[in-house]
């Protein structure tokens, strides 16, 4: 298998990968009075909230002298450039140029009308910044970089258990020095947990793990048939009664993974959405959703547990950050990087790569065929 990370993160070469919604930031990261910068598919964006509080995403480059608008100010739902103070509204139009002095009009007027009303030509005649559609839901702000948002291949992904009674949901934002394909494979990978997360998440047991890999409608679902499977560390807190563990991993095109661990009516779901910055640079927005066993007394227990869960999951994800950096170092060390060997334990990874390669090449035809296969590996 070959993975072309350079093409996957390039807006001009990523094919249909761009025709989806990508997380740009947490809702809490975008205040009403300050812009933030993001890079998606190598494209610089500035995000800010318009006069109605809705998020706006524009090209992060002033039309005047190309200064970064994300270094500017937000006032009255408009964005001011830090260099010469040009002002943009939420549509990307120039509405004020301080150097022209008053009076100015934001709407476009012809020369005769301007002369009649004693106004200078409208600033918006100078052009308009590229504007990208945004969507805010489930505590996340999404952005769409494709050519036509009405042709988006899917709606923004819904965070598991968001707003559901009895469930606690929090986010982690993590920057990884690796590409999206390698990251989603890591998040869907069980064998590495015995080595990268030894003692924290799972210990080597040399147990046989029969599993089923199902590839269907843009999803790769891994179901594990190991009744006596158990997690170390935090897993014991969620399963004090020793109930059987139900474990599934799922990839959803083009960039989403969901990992579920369920013990009866309690458990947790780890949902990660990957936003490509560049070939080996990605922001991952991970939603941790968890529910304690129903026989745990008092809501205060859940509140008291949250800091511990946050700390624990941060330690685990930093272990993945380090191993993904280690993989990237190998990928970029001379020729041959990105060509992978695989075994039966990597069958679901091959399915992920097949979907992402199909999208990267333009998504022509029906895509990878549906398939369901039983596999066995050891952990």
- Interval 230-284: pLDDT, tens: 555 555 666 666 777 888 999 999 999 999 988 887 888 999 999 999 999 999 9
CA distance 214 to 227: 20
- pTM for the model stands at 0.90
- Classify strands 131-132 and 281-291 as parallel, antiparallel or unpaired: unpaired
pLDDT tens-place string over residues 17-49: 999 999 999 999 999 999 999 999 999 999 999
Please enumerate, as own/partner, the contacts of 270-275 that have beta carbons within 8 Å and a separation of 24 or more. Answer: 270/187, 270/313, 271/157, 271/159, 271/160, 272/183, 272/184, 272/187, 273/22, 273/23, 273/140, 273/157, 274/180, 274/183, 274/184, 275/22, 275/23, 275/24, 275/38, 275/40
pLDDT for residue 302: 56
DSSP 198: B
Q: What is the pLDDT of residue 110?
A: 47
Across the chain, mean pLDDT equals 88
- Residue-wise pLDDT tens digits, 293-333: 765 544 455 566 778 888 888 999 999 999 999 999 999 88
* CATH 3.40.228.10 given to domain 158-378: no
Q: Which two tokens stand for residue 103?
A: 């009076």
Do residues 242 and 230 lie in contact, with contact meaning Cβ atoms separated by under 8 Å? no
Domains 31-131 and 158-378 share a fold: no
* Token reading at 117: 């009303």
86 vs 65: CA distance, rounded Å: 10
Report whether 150 contacts 144 (CB < 8 A). no
CATH number listed for the domain at residues 31-131: 2.102.10.10
- Domain-wise residue ranges, the chain: 31-131, 158-378
């Amino acid at each position: 298998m070959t993975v072309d990370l350079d093409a996957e993160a390039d807006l001009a070469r990523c094919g249909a990968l761009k025709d989806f919604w990508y997380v740009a930031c947490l809702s809490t990261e975008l205040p009403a009075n300050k812009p933030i910068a993001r890079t998606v598919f190598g494209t610089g964006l500035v995000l800010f909230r318009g006069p109605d509080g809705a998020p706006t995403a524009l090209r992060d480059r002033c039309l005047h002298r190309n200064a970064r608008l994300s270094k500017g100010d937000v006032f009255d739902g408009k964005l001011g450039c830090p260099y010469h103070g040009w002002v943009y509204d939420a549509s990307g139009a120039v509405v004020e140029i301080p150097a022209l002095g008053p009076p100015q009009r934001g709407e476009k007027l012809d020369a005769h009308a301007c002369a009649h009303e004693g106004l200078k030509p409208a600033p918006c005649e100078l052009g308009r910044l590229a504007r990208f559609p945004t969507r805010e839901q489930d505590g996340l702000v999404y952005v769409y970089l494709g050519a036509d948002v009405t042709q988006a291949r899917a709606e923004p992904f819904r965070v598991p258990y968001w707003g559901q009674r009895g469930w606690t949901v929090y986010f982690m934002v993590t920057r990884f020095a690796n590409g999206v394909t390698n990251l989603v494979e890591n998040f869907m990978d069980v064998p590495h947990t015995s080595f990268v997360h030894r003692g924290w998440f799972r210990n080597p047991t040399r147990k046989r793990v029969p599993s089923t890999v199902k590839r269907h409608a843009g999803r790769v679902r891994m179901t594990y048939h190991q009744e006596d499977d158990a997690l170390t560390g935090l897993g014991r807190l969620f399963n004090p009664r020793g109930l059987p563990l139900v474990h599934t991993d799922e990839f959803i095109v083009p960039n989403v993974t969901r990992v579920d661990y369920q013990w009866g009516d309690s458990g947790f779901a780890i949902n990660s959405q990957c936003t490509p910055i560049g070939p080996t640079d990605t922001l991952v927005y991970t939603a941790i959703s968890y529910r304690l066993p129903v026989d745990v007394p008092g809501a205060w227990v859940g509140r008291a547990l949250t800091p511990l869960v946050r700390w624990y999951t941060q330690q685990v994800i930093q272990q993945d950050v380090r191993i993904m950096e280690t993989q990237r170092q190998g990928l970029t060390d001379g020729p041959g990087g990105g060509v992978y060997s695989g075994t039966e334990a990597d069958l679901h990874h091959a399915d992920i790569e097949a979907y992402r390669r199909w999208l990267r090449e333009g998504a022509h035809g029906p895509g990878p065929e549906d398939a369901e296969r039983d596999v066995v590996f050891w952990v």
